[in-house]
Amino acid sequence: MDTDRSVVEAKAKKAEEKGEQGRSLIGEKAVLVPYMREHVPRYHEWMQDPALLVATGSEPLTLDQEYQMHLSWTTDPNKHTFIVLDKELIQGDFVPGNPHVEAMVGDVNIYMNDPSDPQLAEIEIMIAESQSRGKGLGEESVLLMMEFAVEFYSIQTFCVKIGESNTASLKLFRKLGFVDASYSEFFKEVTLALSMAENSPSKYFEKFRIRH
C-alpha cells in the first residue's frame, strides 16, 4: 500500500469511528449504517448487474476500484453514504459498528456537488436486492437520509437525476413531493428537486411519519 493510500485509509477509519460518518439511522423497516470496508465485496457484486448500472448511471469497476470508491465516499466531506440494511434480514440484534453484511440490500447517498450552493444535495438510492424491493425500504431510506442531511449538513434543496424510463424511481420521488426541474435530452434523464425552504422540515417529515 502506498503512503497516500494509507493516509486516506487512516482518515476513512477515523471518520468511520467518530462523528456523523459513524452514525447509524434506525427506521421502522430499514437501518442505515456507515459504508464499511466489509460491505465492499457484496456492493461490488451488485454493481456487476447491467440493469443496476443503467438505473444508477454507474460504470462497472474492478474490486480494487470499488475499494478506492469506498474511500472516496467515506473521506470526501461533500459526500455521505449509508448502506441500507433490511431489518427483517438482520441476524440477532442490530449492533452499532457491526456491518451486518447479511442484511445489506442497497445504499443511499448524498453528494453536495454544486460549489455555488453548498446547501444543495443530489440524492441517490438503490435497493439492489430484488427480494427487498416493494417493501417501503427505498422510500424510508430516502426520508431518513433527507432528515439527516437537513440536520447535519443544513441542506435546503435536494435534487435527483433519474432515467426517463425508470418508473419506479420517478414514482418514489414524486410521491415524496419532488417536482420536475429539468430534462436532459442527451442523457434521457429527468432532474427532480425538492426545496425544504418551501416546506417546514418538521411538518414535511411528520407527513411521512419519520420520527424525530
Ligand X SMILES: CC(C)(COP(=O)(O)OP(=O)(O)OC[C@H]1O[C@@H](n2cnc3c(N)ncnc32)[C@H](O)[C@@H]1OP(=O)(O)O)[C@@H](O)C(=O)NCCC(=O)NCCS
Interacting residues with ligand X (CB under 6 A): 52, 55-56, 106, 124-127, 133-139, 160, 162, 166-169, 171-172, 175
Which is closer to ligand X, CB of 149 or CB of 162?
162
**CA–CA distances in Å: residue 8 to residues 2, 15, 118, 178:** 10, 10, 24, 36
Which is closer to ligand X, CB of 36 or CB of 108?
108
> What is the number of alpha carbons within 13 Å of residue 70 lying toward its C-beta?
24
Closest CA to 85 of 74, 100, 95, 70: 100
What is the rounded CA–CA span in Å between residue 88 and residue 140?
A: 14
Identity of the amino acid at 142: V
Q: Name the minimum Å distance from CB 127 to ligand X.
A: 4
The residue number with the shortest CB distance to ligand X is: 138
Which is closer to ligand X, CB of 124 or CB of 147?
124
Chain centroid offset of residue 136 CA = 15
Q: Compute how many other C-beta atoms are within 10 angstroms of the C-beta atom of residue 183.
A: 12
Q: Name the minimum Å distance from CB 43 to ligand X.
A: 13
Which is closer to ligand X, CB of 12 or CB of 35?
35
DSSP annotation of 86: E
Q: Name the minimum Å distance from CB 13 to ligand X.
A: 29
> What is the number of alpha carbons within 13 Å of residue 103 lying toward its C-beta?
21
Which is closer to ligand X, CB of 151 or CB of 164?
164
Q: Name the minimum Å distance from CB 209 to ligand X.
A: 13
Q: Name the minimum Å distance from CB 76 to ligand X.
A: 19
